[in-house]
Amino acid sequence: MTRKRLHRIGYNAAAVLVLLVTVFPIYWMVATGFKRGPDILSFEPRWLPIPGTLENYRSAVGKPHFLEDVRNSLVVVTATVLIALALAFLAALAAGRFHFRGRAALIVMLIVVQMVPLEALIIPIYLSLDRVGQTDKLVGIVVTYLTFVLPFSIWTLRGFIVNIPEELEEAAMVDGCTRAGAFRRILFPLVAPGLVATAVFSFILVWNDYLIAYVLLRSPEKQTLGIWLASFTTNHGTEWGGVMAGSTLFAIPAVVFFLLVQRRVVSGLTAGAVKG
Amino acid sequence: MSSIQGRRTASVVRPATALAGRTTTRRRRLAPLVPYALLAPAVLVLAAILGFPLYRLVSLSFQQYGLKELFAGRGTWIGLRNYREIFGDPFFWTVVARTIVFAALCVGLTMGLGTLVALLLRNLGRTMRTLVTAGLVAAWAMPVLTAVSIWQWMFDFEFGVVNWLLTKLGFEGYAQHNWFDQPLQGFAVIILVVVWGALPFVAITLHAGLTQVPAELEEAARVDGAGAWQVFRHITFPVLKPIFLILATLSTIWDFKVFTQIWVMLNQRPSREYFLLGIWSYSESFGVTRYGKGAAIAVVMVLLLLALTFFYVRQMLKAVGP
C-alpha cells in the first residue's frame, strides 16, 4: 500500500516536471509579450506580467510591411492548399480505390519523394525560378511549396480514403449507382472531414516554413510572416518584448488550426502502422 | 490489403454494368484509363516541380556554376571535380560526422524520452494525464520559428531565465554566460529546442499505441515475477515496435536536415563550427554563390539520408508491394 503510494508520488512528480518543461516556455513567451520594458530587462525575473502593457504588440504590428506580410502569407497559404487539395484528391482516389498497373510504383514514389529534403532541392528550384523571373514572386513560392505539400496531401488523403469501407460504394453500385455517382454520393461526404484535415495540415506546413520564403523572397513588401518574425532577431541587442509579442501572434493561427486536427494525426498514424 | 479490395470491386461491378446494356460498352472500354486520368494532373505537376529540380540538382553537381554562370544561365561541365573537392576536404568529413552525431542524439533523446513520457502518461491519474497531454499538445503546436525565439530568449546571456536559474541553484559562472560561444554548449541548446518540439508527437503517438497492449498479458508477466524492464522489453515493446520504427524513421528524416533551428538561433550567421550538411550546402550556394559545389553537398546529403532510411523504405515496399 505504501509502496503504491510512493509510486504515485513519483509519477506525479515526474508529470509536474514534464508539464513545467513543456508549458513554461510558452507561458514565458506570452508573459514577456505583455511586460513593460524594465520588467523584461531585469536580472531578477518578474514572473507575472503585472502591471502589463500592450506596447510590445503595438511595436510588433507597427513594424514596416506587417500588413503586407499578413496578406502575402494568406495568399500563399490559401493558393498552395487549394491547388494541392484539388490535385491530391483525384490522385488519392486513384491510389486508394483503383487497381491498376504501376500503382505500387506510384505509392513507393510518394514515400521516397517525401524523403528528399527540400533543403537540397532549394538550389535547383531557385536557379530555375530565377531563369524564368519568378524569384521574389508569390507564384514562384506557391509552386515551390507544392513540391512538398502535394506529395504529403496525396499520401494523407489516400490514408483517409483507404479507411472508408469500400462495401458502401459497392452497395450503391449494386443498387444502380454509377461508379462516379457512388464516389459523389457516398465517398465524397465520408471523406470530407479528411479533406478538411489534410487542408489544415498543409496550412500548418506552409505557415511554419522559413527556409523557402527566406531564399526566394527578397524585397520586404513581398515577404511572408515567417520572415517578418525572424527579422526581429537579426540585430544585436534584441528587443525581447516585441519578439515575444510577434512570436505569440505568429503562433496563434498555427495553434488554433492544429488543435482542430491534432487527434487525427495520431489516430491516422497508429491505424496505418497496424495495417502496414 | 486494399489491392484485394480493388479486385473484389471489379468482379462486383462488371455484372452490374453489363446489365445496363450497349450504351456503356464504350465507357467500359475506357474504364481502365480512369485511374490514369485521375493521376495525370498530380503526376504532371510533380514531374515538373520535383522531378525536374531533382534532375537539375544532380546535373548541377557536375558543373561549375557560380555568379558568371548564373548570369549566362548555363553551367560548365567539370565532371567529378566538385565531388573530388569536397571528399578531399577534411572539413567535409567533420561536417558529415557532426551531422550524423547531431541527428543520432536528437533521435535518441526524442525516442527515449518520448517513450518514458508515454509510459508515464499511462500511469497517471485522469486529471494529471489530461494536464500533461494538454501541455504536450501546446508545445507540439508551436511553429518552429516561435520555439526558436522562445528558447533564444530563455537562454539570453544577460536576462535569460536559464542562467538565472542555474545561478540560483548554485552553479558558478552562469551569470552573463553566453551559451553559443562554445559550439558544444550551443549544440546542446539547439538539440534541446529540436527535442522539445519533436517529443510531444512521439510521446502522444506512442501513448496511443500503448492502448493496444493487452493489460492482461502485462499483468500475467508481472504475476510470474517479471520486473518492470522485462515486462517492457518482452510484452510492451513488441506491440509498439511498428509505430516505434515509423516514428524513429520520421525523426531521422527530420533531424538529419535541421536547418531553421540553427540558422535562426544563431541570427542567420552561424560560424563554421555550427555547420551541418544542410547549412553548409546552403552557405556554399547562396552565401558564396558556388551552386555546383552546394549541389554536390546536397546530393551527398540525400544519398546519406536514403541510406539511413533504407530499411524503412524496404519495409514500406513490402507492405504496399503487388
CA distances from B115 to A8, B123, B201, B202, B213 (A): 19, 13, 11, 8, 14
Q: How many structural domains is chain A composed of?
A: 2
Q: Are both A23 and A93 inside the same structural domain?
A: no
Q: What does the alpha-carbon distance between residue A151 and residue A156 come to, in Å, rounded to a whole number?
A: 9
Q: Are both A108 and A203 inside the same structural domain?
A: yes
Return the percent helix, strand and coil in chain B, to nearest 5.
Answer: 80, 0, 20
Between positions 83 and 142 of B, the ones with CB within 8 A of A are: 117, 120, 123-125, 128-129, 131-132, 135-142
H-helix segments, B211-290: 215-223, 228-231, 237-256, 260-265, 277-282
Q: Give the model confidence (pLDDT) of B10-63 as tens digits.
A: 434 444 444 445 555 666 677 788 889 999 999 999 998 889 999 999 999 999
DSSP for residue B182: S
User: Do A29 and B205 make contact, defined as CB atoms within 8 angstroms?
Assistant: no
Q: What does the alpha-carbon distance between residue B117 and residue B139 come to, in Å, rounded to a whole number?
A: 14
Q: Are both A113 and A173 inside the same structural domain?
A: yes
User: Do A87 and B45 make contact, defined as CB atoms within 8 angstroms?
Assistant: yes
Give the type of residue at B243. I
Instruction: Provide the Cα torsion B147, B148, B152, B153; round to 10°.
Output: -40
Chain A residues whose beta carbon lies within 8 Å of the beta carbon of residue B23:
none
pLDDT higher at A42 or A86: A86
B49 touches chain A (CB under 8 A): yes
Q: What does the alpha-carbon distance between residue B261 and residue B189 come to, in Å, rounded to a whole number?
A: 10
Radius of gyration of chain A (CA): 24
Q: Residues A126-144: what's their mean pLDDT? A: 90
Ramachandran assignment for B214, one of left (phi > 0), alpha (psi -120 to 50 degrees), beta (any other): beta
The answer to whether residue A44 is domain-embedded is yes
The answer to whether residue A29 is domain-embedded is yes
Of B227, B255, B231, B211, give the one whose Cα is nearest residue B111.
B255
User: Do A121 and B137 make contact, defined as CB atoms within 8 angstroms?
Assistant: no
Taken in order B43, B46, B50, B51, is the CA torsion positive or negative? positive
- The band of B319, judged by pLDDT with boundaries at 50, 70 and 90, is low
Q: Grid coordinates 517525401 are at which residue?
A: A114
pLDDT higher at A230 or B227: B227
DSSP per residue, B40-102? HHHHHHHIIIIIHHHHHHHHHTTEE-SHHHHHHT--EE-TTHHHHHHHT-HHHHHHHHHHHHH
Q: Are both A35 and A135 inside the same structural domain?
A: no
Nine-digit cell at B122?
499511462
Nine-digit cell at A222?
513581398
Strand partners, B77: B63
Q: Set out the domains of chain B in order of their start, with CATH numbers.
A: 21-81 (no CATH), 86-320 (1.10.3720.10)
Backbone angles phi, psi at B76, to 5 degrees: -105, 135
Instruction: Provide the Cα torsion B203, B246, A89, A255; round to 10°.
Output: 20
pLDDT for res B10 = 40
Residue B1 pLDDT > 80: no
Q: Are both A270 and A242 inside the same structural domain?
A: yes
**Predicted structure pTM score:** 0.87
Domain containing A8: what range?
Answer: 2-53
Q: Are both A153 and A221 inside the same structural domain?
A: yes
User: Do A120 and B298 make contact, defined as CB atoms within 8 angstroms?
Assistant: yes
pLDDT higher at A37 or B186: B186
Q: Are both A200 and A255 inside the same structural domain?
A: yes
- The band of A19, judged by pLDDT with boundaries at 50, 70 and 90, is very high
The answer to whether residue A242 is domain-embedded is yes
Between positions 39 and 58 of A, the ones with CB within 8 A of B are: 40-45
